[in-house]
Chains A and B, each alone.
Chain A
Amino acid sequence: MSDPTDENESAELREKVLDLEDALDRLESQHEVLENFCFGLEQEHDRARTLVENTRAELQKSYEALRALKEDQDEIFATVTQGILTINRDGTINPGYSRAAGQILERGDLESMPFVELLPEGPVRAKFGRFLDLQFLPRTQPAMLARLNPLTDYAHSVTTEDGLVREKSLAISFARIWKNATDDSERSVRKVLVVIDDQTTEHELTRELERRVKEQARKVETAYQILMLPPSAYEEFIEETDRGLGYIESSLQTSDVSVESLRKCARTLHTLKGSARALGLDYVQHKTHRMEGLLGELQQGQSTGVVARVLEALNELRERLREGNEMSSRISEMRSTLRLDQDDGRHELERLLAGSIRVEGEACGKVASLSFVDELAGQVPRHFRVRVKNALIQLVRNAVSHGLEASAERAGLGKARDGRIEVRITETEDTIRVSCRDDGRGISAAEIRARALERGLANPEEVDPLDDEQVLELIFLPGFSTAPSVTEASGRGVGMDVVVENAAALGGRVRVDTEVGKHTEFVLELPKRTALAELSLDPSLEHEQ
């Protein structure tokens, strides 16, 4: 007989065992899940580690590449002779710039400095500000920007350690660095690259060369002045000057120069200066004037070094006169050989034009007289003279070959057999007017129309609406010529180009006025402001005579 309490207990125990077994099962399955999870974690961990390692290796590679690039850049920046830097949109200079940039600009640290601060305050700086803004406008063409660059030939002032101000000649150019360079609608300018070239040495050499050219030009001028003098005048002047200079030299070389002797020297110089002026010998006049100044100092008692300077100037003058003397004797030889002594007193340009008319007339069997008026007061720059001369030579040739009728034809029309060409140079307050008029057949608008169509220079629908005055302008189109036949000097269709180009180079324009059967007149209207500006913009003229 079992004890019921025991039975109860054992049943409870069994249940507990079952519960425990269940719990164990659950634990086991949880353990399995955990184990799987751990395994997964380990795998993830491995993958992550590999990824980190790979990334680190790649970073290392990029870093090394960047460092190599940086080293290259540093090397370039340290060795180029040009100043290279970049400017941000806000106008400041970026940290990376070439060593030469600092050296040329003589600034220790350029980083973050606004570029404009390198320029002196005033118009250059203001213009540069506008220019830099345009650089960041993507639309503006590089050629135009180059045209507007205010620093292509920039004189940069630097103060040296001893407080002296020195000027450097810099050529500074600019280029844009793009963002999205390939996409037209999206692109913008990120930075502006600046390249600074120090051309100080080159400029100094150029100046030296110019000095020598000037010296040569002065010699030629002396020759020209001698040519313009009556043959014996220069020789007489040389003798006079030689005597005068000899006197001054011997007076100054005595140990104690008297006041009276100094006065006599000054008078002698003054006379020489007067003669030089009368003969148009500018150099001698200039030199004697300077010597007079030096003698003045001597008379006031300042003698230190002054005597030496007078003697130096005197020797230079002598050297020049000796050269002049040589030229003079050569020129008189030429004169006697060429019989050039009969000077008809005409204007140089007039002589040239008369010659052109004669030569052109002989070539096409016509005779014409020239009436020449030059009312221009005062000096004109050489490039102006050359331009006007070139245009007029072309115009008188055109007048003879195209404008004038042949003598027989003129006689038939009741005109004088010889043609008449009038050249006038006149001026108003602000304009110079250069005209060439012939009393020939005039220009017919109908003929111009026909010729323009025939030459294929314009279409009927373009020409038809033009009035006669507008039609005349067609002759200024390149390639236009009304000459029925081609001669050596005219009828090539380039004649008017020469005239237009020369007028344009002086800032002016060409008008034509004509009446059929009566006359043709070409007028160059040249504004004084541009025509008489000292600087010729056309370097090709620099060596033209």
Chain B
Amino acid sequence: MKVLIVDDSPVMRILIRRTIEEHNPDETVEITEACDGEEALGKVSGTNFDLVMLDWNMPVLDGLSFVKKVRGDGLDLPIIMISAVSDESSIFDACEAGVTDYIEKPVRPTDLAERIRPYLP
């Protein structure tokens, strides 16, 4: 399984990476990281990822634009957005753009694990 983590905060990337690794004892998950939507687009076009963990507010290209671009290209992989954006209208926007799941920050590591687990092998 291949997972792409897209977040401009190194600490968030560590937290997500660790959460996935802890729930992946067989180490069959291969993690790739990107710091913004633009970098992520490049990576998504080259590799068949099974899951994207995505931040919303990022430099260069934000998460929502990334989702629109990816869905516009006909890619159907699950995309989980993790964001501090919490107003309902924005979450509607994200869902309508094609986000699979939405996790609001701040998130406890145990809750994060709970929410990611269904997507892991």
Residues of A whose CB lies within 8 Å of any CB of B are 127, 130-131, 133-134, 137, 139-141, 143-144, 147-148, 185, 457-458, 462, 465-466, 470, 473-474, 476-478, 500-501, 504
Q: Is B106 an interface residue (CB 8 A)?
A: yes
Q: Mark B95-108, 1 if CB is under 8 A from A, else 0.
A: 11011111000101
Interchain CB contact under 8 A, A477 and B11:
yes
Task: Tell me, rounded to whole Å, the shortest Cβ–Cβ distance linking B73 to chain A.
Answer: 15
Q: Is the interface of A mostly helix, strand, loop or mixed?
A: helix
The complex places the Cα of A148 from the Cα of B15 at a distance, in Å, of: 26
* A504-B10 contact, Cβ under 8 Å, with A139-B98, A140-B100: no
Whose C-beta in chain B lies nearest to the C-beta of A143?
Answer: B101
* B-side interface residues, number (CB < 8 Å): 23
Measured between beta carbons, the chain A residues less than 8 angstroms from B95 are 134, 137, 140, 144, 148
- Can you list 20 residue pairs at the A/B interface with Cβ under 8 Å? A130-B92, A134-B96, A137-B95, A139-B76, A139-B78, A139-B98, A143-B115, A144-B101, A147-B102, A148-B91, A148-B92, A458-B14, A458-B18, A462-B13, A466-B10, A476-B11, A477-B11, A478-B108, A478-B109, A500-B106
The complex places the Cα of A429 from the Cα of B100 at a distance, in Å, of: 38
Q: Which among B14, B18, B98, B109 has the greatest number of chain A C-beta atoms within 10 A? A: B14
Given contacts A141-B100, A148-B92, 18 further A-B contacts (CB under 8 A): A127-B92, A134-B96, A137-B95, A139-B100, A144-B95, A148-B88, A148-B95, A457-B18, A458-B18, A462-B13, A462-B14, A462-B17, A466-B10, A473-B11, A477-B11, A478-B108, A500-B106, A504-B106
* A144-B102 contact, Cβ under 8 Å, with A130-B92, A134-B95, A478-B109: yes
> Count of A-B contacts with CB under 8 A?
57
Residues of B whose CB lies within 8 Å of any CB of A are 10-11, 13-15, 17-18, 76, 78, 88, 91-92, 95-96, 98-102, 106, 108-109, 115
Measured between beta carbons, the chain A residues less than 8 angstroms from B102 are 144, 147
The complex places the Cα of A141 from the Cα of B14 at a distance, in Å, of: 25
Measured between beta carbons, the chain A residues less than 8 angstroms from B101 are 141, 143-144
Measured between beta carbons, the chain B residues less than 8 angstroms from A141 are 100-101
Whose C-beta in chain A lies nearest to the C-beta of B15?
Answer: A477
The complex places the Cα of A476 from the Cα of B14 at a distance, in Å, of: 12
Interchain CB contact under 8 A, B91 and A147:
yes
Measured between beta carbons, the chain A residues less than 8 angstroms from B92 are 127, 130-131, 134, 148
The complex places the Cα of A458 from the Cα of B108 at a distance, in Å, of: 17
Task: Tell me, rounded to whole Å, the shortest Cβ–Cβ distance linking B117 to chain A.
Answer: 12
Measured between beta carbons, the chain B residues less than 8 angstroms from A478 are 108-109
